[in-house]
Chains A and B, each alone.
Chain A
Amino acid sequence: MDMPRPDPIVLSRKSELVARLLTVLPQDAVIEDEMETRAYECDALTAYKCPPLLAVLPRSTAEVSDVLRICYDMNVPVVPRGSGTSLAGGALPTADCVILGVARMNDVLETDYTNRVIRVQSGRTNLSVSGAVAEEDFFYAPDPSSQLACAIAGNIAMNSGGAHCLKYGVTTNNLLGVTMVMMDGEIVEIGGAHLDSGGLDLLGIICGSEGQLGVVTEATLRILHKPEGARPVLVGFDSNEVAGACVSDIIQAGVLPVAIEFMDRRVTEVVENYAHAGYPLCEAVLIIEVEGSEAEIDAQLALIREIAERHNPIEFREAKDADEASRIWLGRKSAFGAMGQINDYMCLDGTIPVSSLPMVLRRIGELSKESGLEVGNVFHAGDGNMHPLILFDANKDGDLELCEAMGAEILKLCVEAGGCLTGEHGVGIEKRDLMGYQYKPADLDAQMAVKDIFDPKWLLNPAKVFPLDVSDAKRSAQIAAE
C-alpha cells in the first residue's frame, strides 16, 4: 500500500512542534518517544504499520482546538484516532503526522430521558454509552462488533453499523449533534437535541467522512428504551440460495426482525470447533432475532417459522430460555475470533442488493477456487452487508498480495451487482484505490469539493478515502499556494 512521502520540512521541525504543543498541553499529553509512538502505528488493519511523528492525547475541546491550530499553522498532517479499531486503516498514521487521540475524552456530559438524548465526549466507547443509561433501561442502538472497545468518535467518522441496524439504523440515523473542531482550530456546533435543523445537512456530511472534515469532540446521540424482551432463532439450510430467498421473503412479509445474520458452512465449521455452540453443520445458518413482549415475540416467530418452512430448512431452533439464546448468538459473535484462530484473514465489507445474494456467493466460491485462497462468509443478511473473510498466510511470500487482489475482485463484483465497496467499515486506505470502480471522476470531484471547503490544506487524515495520487496532489498544491 503506497503512502505519501513524508514532508521533510515537517520532519525537520519536530522539536519546534513539540515545544509549541507543550505550551498548550500538559507533559503527559504529548507523546514523542519512539517506543511509545509505536503504540499508534496501526489500527485493526494490522497488515499496515507506520509510527507517527507524535501522538497527542488532549482532554478537552479547547485542547483539541489548540493542537489543531498549531498543526494548521505548521502544515502538519493530523490523523484523528478513536480507539483504533478500524478494519479499513482509517487511523493509520503517516510518518509526518500527529496522531490526535480522543481516548481521554470519555465523559458523559448530559443524560436527558425526557428528550431521549445523551451528550458525551467522543472518546467514550460505544458500549459505555449504553452503560451510562442502562439504569433507566435505555440504550444507544448502533452496535458494531467492536462495541466494547470502539469510540463514538470513530463510529461517527465511519458511520458505523452493527447487527441490529436492520431495525434501528446506523450511526447517522442516531446522531443528533456534534461539537467539532475544524482543522484551523475553530470550534463549531452542529445540530443539537432537536431533530432537524433548517439549512444544509452538515451533520449528515460529517458523519461518515472518516475524520477528514474535522475532529468531533462531543456528540449528542439518540437513546431509546430497551424492548421488553428479545429472542433469536437459528435456521439451517442446505443451500445458500434457499437461505437468501428465505431472508427476502421474511423482509417482504413485513416482519421487521432486529437482526438477520448469515454464516456459511466454512464459518460454521470453524466456529463450532472453537465455541461449541451446537450449530448444525449445513450450507447456511441464519440467526434471526425479534423483539417485544413474550406474546409479540411468539407471534413474530410463528410467522418467521411459517415462511422458513416453505423453504424446507434442515433445522429451526428457537431459544427456549436465556441460556439457549446466548448459545445461538455465541457462535455468531465468536465468528471473527474463531476464524483468526485458524488463519490470518482479511475481512471485506461490500454491500449488495439482497436479491443478488445467491449469485454473489456463487461467484465468490468460484473466485476462491481460482485463487486457491479459502473464503468464509458471515454477514448481515437483512441489509445485504457482506463480510467475506479471505484466509491467507501472512508469513508466506505473496499471499497478502494474492489475498488483496482477490478482495478487490470481490468488491468489484459487489459494485457490479448494484452494491458498494463498503457497508459499514469505511474506505480508509484499504479501499481508496478502488473508489474509481464505484464512482466516476465527477462523482469523486463532488465529494472532494466538500473536503476542499472543510479542510483546504488537506491536512486531516491524509491518504485515506480518495485515490492517493489525487489526494496527494491536492495537499501539495494547497500548501504550495500559500
Chain B
Amino acid sequence: MEPTSEAELADLISSAKAPLCIRGGGTRLLGPIEGEVLETSGLQGISLYESGALTMVAGAGTTLDEIGAALKAENQRLAFEPPDLRDVLGTTGASTIGGVAASNASGSRRISVGACRDFMLGVRFVDGAGIVAKNGGRVMKNVTGYDLVKLMSGAFGTLGVLSEVSLKVMPKVEMQLCLRIEGLNAKQAVAAMSAALGSPFEVSGAAQALDGAVVLRLEGFDASVRYRADKLTQVLAGFGTVEMLDDQAQCDTLWRDIRDARGFTGSTGDLWRVSVKPSDAPELIDTLGAHAVLLDWGGGLMWVDMPKRADLRARMSVPGHATLMRSDDKGFEQVARFHPEAAPLAKISAELRARFDPKGILNPGLMGDVA
C-alpha cells in the first residue's frame, strides 16, 4: 500500500484489520516485520522551507536526497547528520525523512548538537485507529501542551504513521578539521575523547574508529577551527602524537564511515548498537567477547559486531541499552530487537501502544508488548 495523501493514509489504517509493516524507504529495517507493507513514499514533497528561519516542513515520504538538495542550495544542512545504513544493513531504496524521524536516526554530531528528536519541531501522524493528529509546529520554541513530537520520534511507527515532519535545519559550516591519535586502547581512547569533549573547544565528533585511531572533529569558521585545533592538540598531548587532517574530502569520508558504521558492511556477525555512559564502554568491551567495536559519541555509542546468536544483553555488566540492528531471521526471532525496559516503564509503553494503536496493527511485535 502506498497512499499518496494523508487522507488516504488515514482511510487505509482505519479500515485495516490485519498487521501493517510501516515503512519509509525501507533502508533502516531492523529485521522482518509481519504484515502488509504500508509505504509512506507517496507522501512526497517539501511544503515549506524558510532558510532565514531555519525551518523546513516536508511530507514523511520525502527522500533525504531531495531534502539534502534543497538544503544544499541554501548552504544549510541537517545538523544531526542521519546515518545512511543501507550498506551495513544490506538494504536498498531511498531513505525518507519520515523514516529518519520515526527511528530518531542521529549521527556523530549527537554529542554536540543533539539527536534527530532535538531538531524535530512538529509532526502530523495517523494513529492506529486512523485518526489524524498533529503536535508541535514549525517554530523553534514551543511548549504548548505535551511534547508528542519526542514521543513519535523513535517510536518506529508503533504509535502512529508519520505523515509530515517539520524540522529545524542549520547553516553549513565553512570548514572542518580532524585530529587523529593512533595506538590507544579503549580506556585511553575514552579518556582522550572525554578530555576533548570536556574542553571549551567545541568538538562535534569523537570516535574510536575500527582501526583503533581516535578521531575528533572541529567545525566552523576557518580561523576558529584552526585556533581550536591548536588548543586541543595541547590538551591531548599526553595521549600521543596528534595528527591534523585538513583535507575536506578526506574528513568527510572518515566521518561518513563512522556515522554509517561502514566498517561492518558484509561482516558475518550480529550487529548491535549499544548506548552507555562513555566511561563504562571500556569495561563492557572487555566482557562482550565481540569481533569488533566502533566507538562513537565519545564512547557513549558502541557499534558491536558479535558472534551470531550471542545475546549481548546477557553479557552486559554495566547499565545501558542495546538494540539488535542486524541478524538473520532466526536471530531476530530469538532476541528482542529493543532492549527490554524495566517493568514499570514497559507497562507505560505497552499502554501507550494500546491506546495509540488499539487494533495492534502498527509494526506489531517490533518494540515490545501491547497492554
CB distance from B201 to the nearest CB of A (A): 8
Residues 127 to 164 of chain B near chain A (Cβ within 8 Å): 127, 131-135, 137-151, 153-155, 158-159
| A182 to B351 Cα, complex, angstroms | 15
Partner of A200, one of B127, B147, B155, B321: B155
Binds A, one of B83-91, B110-118, B250-258: B110-118
Is A205 within 8 A of B278, CB to CB? Answer: no
CB distance from A431 to the nearest CB of B (A): 7
Residues 429 to 444 of chain A near chain B (Cβ within 8 Å): 431, 435, 438-440, 442-444
| A134 to B266 Cα, complex, angstroms | 48
| Chain A contact residues: helix, strand, loop or mixed | loop
Is A384 within 8 A of B141, CB to CB? Answer: yes
Residues of A contacting B342 in the complex (Cβ-Cβ under 8 angstroms): 188-189
Residues of A contacting B300 in the complex (Cβ-Cβ under 8 angstroms): 115, 194-195
Residues of A contacting B110 in the complex (Cβ-Cβ under 8 angstroms): 195-196
Interface status of A165 (Cβ within 8 A of chain B): yes
Asked whether A454 and B349 contact (CB < 8 A) given A194-B300, A443-B135, the answer is no
CB distance from B198 to the nearest CB of A (A): 6
Nearest chain B residue, comparing its CB with the CB of A437: B144
Binds A, one of B39-47, B58-66, B166-174: B166-174
Nearest chain A residue, comparing its CB with the CB of B116: A196
Nearest chain A residue, comparing its CB with the CB of B355: A449
| A195 to B320 Cα, complex, angstroms | 9
Residues of A contacting B146 in the complex (Cβ-Cβ under 8 angstroms): 205, 208-209, 447, 450-451, 465
Interface status of A353 (Cβ within 8 A of chain B): yes
Residues 195 to 232 of chain A near chain B (Cβ within 8 Å): 195-205, 207-209, 225-228
Interface status of A254 (Cβ within 8 A of chain B): yes
CB distance from B132 to the nearest CB of A (A): 7
Interface status of A330 (Cβ within 8 A of chain B): no
Is A418 within 8 A of B224, CB to CB? Answer: no
Nearest chain A residue, comparing its CB with the CB of B278: A115
Is A453 within 8 A of B148, CB to CB? Answer: no
Partner of B144, one of A193, A354, A380, A438: A438
Is B227 within 8 A of A423, CB to CB? Answer: no
Residues of B contacting A426 in the complex (Cβ-Cβ under 8 angstroms): 143
Interface status of A256 (Cβ within 8 A of chain B): yes
Asked whether A225 and B200 contact (CB < 8 A) given A114-B279, A351-B139, the answer is yes
Residues of B contacting A159 in the complex (Cβ-Cβ under 8 angstroms): 143, 147
Interface status of A304 (Cβ within 8 A of chain B): no
Task: Give 1 or 0 for each of A414-431: 1 = CB within 8 Å of chain B CB.
Answer: 000011111111110001
| A424 to B141 Cα, complex, angstroms | 7
Residues of B contacting A299 in the complex (Cβ-Cβ under 8 angstroms): 221, 223-224
| A228 to B224 Cα, complex, angstroms | 12
| A203 to B345 Cα, complex, angstroms | 11
Residues 281 to 337 of chain A near chain B (Cβ within 8 Å): 292-293, 295-296, 299-300
Is A200 within 8 A of B151, CB to CB? Answer: yes
Residues of B contacting A249 in the complex (Cβ-Cβ under 8 angstroms): 52
Q: Which of A227, A253, A383 has the most B CB atoms < 10 Å from its CB?
A: A383
CB distance from B180 to the nearest CB of A (A): 22
Is B141 within 8 A of A253, CB to CB? Answer: no
Nearest chain B residue, comparing its CB with the CB of A354: B53
CB distance from B72 to the nearest CB of A (A): 14
Task: Give 1 or 0 for each of A141-171: 1 = CB within 8 Å of chain B CB.
Answer: 0000000000000000011010001000110
Residues of A contacting B159 in the complex (Cβ-Cβ under 8 angstroms): 200
Interface status of A61 (Cβ within 8 A of chain B): no
Is B135 within 8 A of A446, CB to CB? Answer: yes
Asked whether A454 and B117 contact (CB < 8 A) given A172-B150, A195-B110, A205-B148, the answer is no
Is A251 within 8 A of B174, CB to CB? Answer: no
Residues of B contacting A369 in the complex (Cβ-Cβ under 8 angstroms): none
Interface status of A36 (Cβ within 8 A of chain B): no
Is A197 within 8 A of B197, CB to CB? Answer: no
Interface status of B338 (Cβ within 8 A of chain A): yes
Interface status of B362 (Cβ within 8 A of chain A): no
Residues of B contacting A248 in the complex (Cβ-Cβ under 8 angstroms): 52-53
Partner of B321, one of A137, A196, A300: A196
Interface status of B75 (Cβ within 8 A of chain A): yes
Q: Which of B231, B345, B349 has the most A CB atoms < 10 Å from its CB?
A: B345
Is A447 within 8 A of B145, CB to CB? Answer: yes
Residues 257 to 304 of chain B near chain A (Cβ within 8 Å): 275-279, 297, 300-301
Interface status of A186 (Cβ within 8 A of chain B): yes
Residues 334 to 376 of chain A near chain B (Cβ within 8 Å): 351-355
Number of interface residues of B (CB under 8 A): 85
Is A420 within 8 A of B139, CB to CB? Answer: yes
Residues 8 to 62 of chain B near chain A (Cβ within 8 Å): 50-55
Is A186 within 8 A of B352, CB to CB? Answer: no
Interface status of A385 (Cβ within 8 A of chain B): yes
Q: Which of B117, B142, B221 has the most A CB atoms < 10 Å from its CB?
A: B142
Interface status of A469 (Cβ within 8 A of chain B): no
Is A201 within 8 A of B351, CB to CB? Answer: no
Residues of A contacting B153 in the complex (Cβ-Cβ under 8 angstroms): 201, 204
Asked whether A419 and B341 contact (CB < 8 A) given A114-B279, A195-B301, A200-B155, the answer is no
Nearest chain B residue, comparing its CB with the CB of A204: B150
Residues of B contacting A454 in the complex (Cβ-Cβ under 8 angstroms): 348
Is A199 within 8 A of B173, CB to CB? Answer: no
Is A423 within 8 A of B142, CB to CB? Answer: yes
Interface status of A252 (Cβ within 8 A of chain B): yes
Residues of B contacting A384 in the complex (Cβ-Cβ under 8 angstroms): 53, 139-141
Nearest chain A residue, comparing its CB with the CB of B158: A200
Interface status of A452 (Cβ within 8 A of chain B): yes
Is A296 within 8 A of B53, CB to CB? Answer: no
Residues of A contacting B134 in the complex (Cβ-Cβ under 8 angstroms): 439-440, 443
| A92 to B28 Cα, complex, angstroms | 46
CB distance from B64 to the nearest CB of A (A): 20
Residues of A contacting B51 in the complex (Cβ-Cβ under 8 angstroms): 252
Residues of A contacting B141 in the complex (Cβ-Cβ under 8 angstroms): 161, 165, 170, 351, 380, 383-385, 423-424
Nearest chain B residue, comparing its CB with the CB of A213: B146
Partner of B145, one of A137, A196, A295, A427: A427
Asked whether A205 and B150 contact (CB < 8 A) given A170-B141, A353-B139, the answer is yes
Is A293 within 8 A of B227, CB to CB? Answer: yes
Is A208 within 8 A of B155, CB to CB? Answer: no
| A469 to B141 Cα, complex, angstroms | 28
Is B52 within 8 A of A453, CB to CB? Answer: no
| A431 to B143 Cα, complex, angstroms | 11
Residues of B contacting A170 in the complex (Cβ-Cβ under 8 angstroms): 141
Asked whether A158 and B143 contact (CB < 8 A) given A195-B111, A251-B52, the answer is yes
CB distance from A300 to the nearest CB of B (A): 7
Nearest chain A residue, comparing its CB with the CB of B231: A293
Residues of B contacting A138 in the complex (Cβ-Cβ under 8 angstroms): 198
| A161 to B110 Cα, complex, angstroms | 20
Is A351 within 8 A of B140, CB to CB? Answer: yes
Given contacts A115-B300, A196-B321, A299-B223, 16 further A-B contacts (CB under 8 A): A116-B194, A159-B147, A188-B342, A194-B319, A195-B110, A200-B349, A204-B151, A254-B173, A254-B174, A355-B53, A383-B141, A419-B139, A431-B144, A439-B144, A440-B133, A453-B355
> 10 tightest A-B contacts by CB?
A204-B150, A254-B171, A383-B140, A423-B141, A248-B52, A193-B277, A198-B338, A351-B139, A447-B146, A446-B133
18 A-B pairs with C-beta separation under 8 A: A138-B198, A194-B300, A196-B321, A198-B322, A199-B154, A202-B151, A207-B150, A249-B52, A251-B53, A299-B223, A353-B50, A384-B53, A384-B140, A384-B141, A435-B145, A439-B144, A440-B134, A442-B131
